[in-house]
Amino acid sequence: MKGALLALSELRTRLLWRRLTARGGLAEGVARATLLLLAIPTGLLFAVMLGAGTWQAVRAGGGLRTDVTATAVFLGIWQTWTAVTLSLNDREGVDLRRFLVYPIPPGRVYGLGLAAGLVGDPVAIFWAVLLAGILAGAALARPGGWLTLLALLLLLFAAATVLYAALLQELLAMALGSRRLREWATVFSVLAAVAVLGFLAASSARPLKAFAEALPALRLAQWIAWPGALAAGAARHLYAGRGGESLPWLVGLAAGGLAAGRLAFALALRQARSGGEGGARARGGALRAVLFPQAGMRGALWEKEAKYLLRHPLARTYGVLVPVIAAFVGFGLEPRLPRESGEVVRAVPLLGLAVYTHLSLQGFWLNALGWERGGARLLYLSPLDVGELLRAKNAVLFLFSLAVFALSAAILLLPSHSTPAWAVGAAAALHAGMAPYLYGLGNLVSVLNPRAASFAIQRSASLPALSGLAGLGIVSSVSGLFALPVVLALRLESPSVLIASWLALGVVGLWAYRRALPSEARLLLVRREELLSLVCGDDA
């Protein structure tokens, strides 16, 4: 059995090596190394901050400062780690279904896949550096044997976070793949929204205040983030020098991690043995004629793109995840912004949401053709204008992104007391203005560096490292460009300058996008062999 596992490890290593030594592999390798090099200093920066916080918490030796720091650090890391894993991470997992034929226990294959995903993921080093920062801060504050327990806590926390994230991925995949569950989720969301609105309407003259007062009851929800909560509990005792009292928390963390891992594996195995979606039927016929009234080729393209996007588990995940993050920010962070901070600062959460919505959907605009798989052949076999194809992809994605952004912004603004009114218009202008730049440059990346993308959210390998790096550069540059008017608006103390500038930038971007599209379409035609080889595995 050991030999079979070794063979499996060798297989993955060889496949990775082949990919790195194949055409375009060098650039891919450089991109991975660059991401790694970026992750280390960024991680170090945050590790120093976390280390300093931990140093203070340990020196305080208990009390409010210790409790608040431990809770903030562990819940903060858990939240970011999980959000990145579920949305932006480019981890490559093992497709369990492909390995069921081999005489290797599937549990080991699954475990190996999780471990290999961590080793091959440049972002993973970031979390390791953060945890090392905590340990270093604690060691400087109070050297001693208790650090062994802290190291164990950090290891258990990391394992529990990874296993819980895997479980959440499996649960999301199951929920989003099952029509009945989706329908129940929709009904639940509608009922919840009605209940919230009813509560607000029936409350006193200050409904938002009443809602804010009801929030403590929601603190129970912190146990959704149990790896962070349990780790924080153990850390509070350890920092205060009560090693013995931390043990139940550590045992809880280990047991929780084990249970999450077992459940994640059981769900993965069930899914692998289910043989797909079990005859899922497509729907939406009645709505079709209303939504896609355009006759002919363009209407067909828009319809196909819309259906592909809306049936994609990743798109559905972002459709849920981005509003949830907006709710976290809206209810958790935004009310804590000091009243005396400037209008621009108070507008930052909403403006950030506009950028984050684009960022979360980057897999779709940076690898626009990767989802076509075998269907990509049709793009070249049919008398299709490939420029029209890119335009349809971008337009449909923009409409989806706009819907997700609008929903998330509404949730973010629900508890807001201080977001200035102009920020709504500015955020809409920012979201719309950035789109032509991101999509235009994304088309170029999609054509030059495509990759067959997985439809399973458990294996979110939708972007090659090089495209991920290019995306980082594109989002940073475009954000930089759109940050320039902020300086002007601050100097002139006129928010309307911001809206006008972003709209103007958007118009320029749209003009450039339209100018670039024919060239990108020509490039798509010229690169058909490489693209088919990478997207369909079509090696002629």
Binding site for other proteins (CB under 8 A): 3, 276-282, 295-297, 299-301, 303-304, 307-308, 311-312, 372-378, 380-385, 455, 528-529, 532, 536-538, 540
Report CA-CA distances (Å) from 445 to 68, 139, 300, 442, 505: 44, 46, 25, 5, 22
Instruction: Please identify, using beta-carbon distances, which residue of 245 and 538 lies nearer to other proteins.
Output: 538
Whole-number minimum distance, CB 432 to other proteins, in Å?
28
For residues 419 and 350, the answer to whether their CB atoms sit within 8 Å is: yes
Whole-number minimum distance, CB 326 to other proteins, in Å?
28
Instruction: Please identify, using beta-carbon distances, which residue of 2 and 336 lies nearer to other proteins.
Output: 2
Residue 402 and residue 77: Cα distance in Å, rounded? Answer: 29
Whole-number minimum distance, CB 381 to other proteins, in Å?
5
Instruction: Please identify, using beta-carbon distances, which residue of 395 and 407 lies nearer to other proteins.
Output: 395
Residue 138 and residue 52: Cα distance in Å, rounded? Answer: 9
Reading the block at residue 434, the tokens are 């950035």
Instruction: Please identify, using beta-carbon distances, which residue of 173 and 499 lies nearer to other proteins.
Output: 173
Instruction: Please identify, using beta-carbon distances, which residue of 23 and 209 lies nearer to other proteins.
Output: 23
Whole-number minimum distance, CB 287 to other proteins, in Å?
13
Whole-number minimum distance, CB 404 to other proteins, in Å?
19
Render 432-450 in DSSP notation, one character per residue.
HHHHHHHHHHHHHHHHHS-
Q: Tell me if residue 455 falls in helix, strand or coil.
A: coil
Whole-number minimum distance, CB 445 to other proteins, in Å?
22
The three-point CA angle 407-439-428 to 5° equals 35
Instruction: Please identify, using beta-carbon distances, which residue of 214 and 378 lies nearer to other proteins.
Output: 378
Instruction: Please identify, using beta-carbon distances, which residue of 10 and 529 lies nearer to other proteins.
Output: 529
For residues 490 and 414, the answer to whether their CB atoms sit within 8 Å is: no
Whole-number minimum distance, CB 387 to other proteins, in Å?
12
Instruction: Please identify, using beta-carbon distances, which residue of 334 and 372 lies nearer to other proteins.
Output: 372
Whole-number minimum distance, CB 306 to other proteins, in Å?
11
Cα-Cα-Cα-Cα dihedral sign, residues 370, 373, 375, 377: positive
Longest dimension (CA), the chain: 75
Reading the block at residue 460, the tokens are 């979110």
The three-point CA angle 129-135-141 to 5° equals 135
Q: Return all residues near 362 (Cβ < 8 A) that are at least 6 apart.
A: 88, 442, 463, 471, 475
Reading the block at residue 212, the tokens are 């804010």
